[in-house]
Amino acid sequence: MSLARRIAALFRIKIGKALDRAEDPRELLDYSYERQLELLTKVRRGVADVATSRKRVELQLTQLEQSSTKLESQAQQALAAGREDLAREALSRRAAVTTQIADLQEQESVIQAEEEKLTLSAQRLQAKVDIFRTRKETIKASYTAAEAETHISEAVTGISEEMGDVGMAMQRAEDKTQQLQARASALDELIDSGALEDATLPASRDDIQAQLEAATKSHDIEAELAGMKAQLSASAPPPSLEAEEMPAVPAAEPSKEPPEEESTSR
């Protein structure tokens, strides 16, 4: 295959694919239906023109028949008046009119047959157009439903172009969020371990001082908690007489764990 033929074949293939993507079957069906309506209109117009010609021939026949009757009457009157020459002339004209009447009757038969043929063709075409219209609407409805179902399926599965862009944007947002969260967690660990300093703290503050302050703060809290417990024990009400008369309950074994206050003071 020559280079020119290969280029031409490739061009036809590309054009065919482009037309297939751009073609909408619903528009094609509507266009075909419009063309059929135009053809049906032309056929009906032809039937009307033929019917008009037939009517014109019928009018001419009526006029010629009236003229033939009149000439026959004139010939009889001329013969009664002794004018044989006028009677002969009237009969001669009547013969010519009779010939014209015969020709027009033949034309009328041909025109009437053509009118009947066109009328039958128009009726058949009308029936085909009606069938095509019903079929067209059915195909359009099926195509619209299939197109909508395809779009919904593409949207649900995420393979459509719009949903694909949305999915990619969400994935990028999730990746960026996870990256920021990991960075924040790593920075917190570095600050807690002392590898990095908190920029909001004074410049002279070091990690040893921070640990000493944390231990002092914990000791102060334990001392305050021990004082609050001592106050609660001092303010407790004395036991009532009824409680003294009740049988003694065996004392529970002392706990081997050191008291909380002693452990705190230590």
- Which pLDDT tens digit goes with each residue over 58-108? 999 999 999 989 988 988 888 888 888 888 888 898 899 999 999 999 999
Q: What letter represents residue 204's amino acid?
A: S
Q: What letter represents residue 242's amino acid?
A: E
Report the alpha-carbon distance of residue 240 to residue 6 in Å, rounded: 116
Q: What is the mean pLDDT of the chain?
A: 77
What pLDDT, in 10s, does the model give residues 213-245? 667 767 777 788 788 878 887 776 655 544 444
Q: Which of 109-123, 166-180, 182-196 has the lowest mean pLDDT?
A: 182-196
Is pLDDT above 50 for 251? no
- Tracing tokens 């037939």 back to the chain, one arrives at 54
User: How much is the pLDDT for 224?
Assistant: 80
Q: Report residue 153's pLDDT band, with 50, 70 and 90 as the boundaries.
A: confident
Which tokens go with 46?
Answer: 């032809």
Percent of the chain with pLDDT over 70: 66
207 versus 217: the higher-pLDDT residue is 217
Is pLDDT above 60 for 259? no
Residues 61, 101 contacting (CB under 8 angstroms) = yes
Which tokens go with 155?
Answer: 């949207």
Q: What's the 3-state SS for 34-68?
A: HHHHHHHHHHHHHHHHHHHHHHHHHHHHHHHHHHH
Highest mean pLDDT among 26-35, 194-203, 243-252: 26-35
155 versus 139: the higher-pLDDT residue is 139
Domains of the chain plus CATH, in order, are 8-167 (1.10.287)
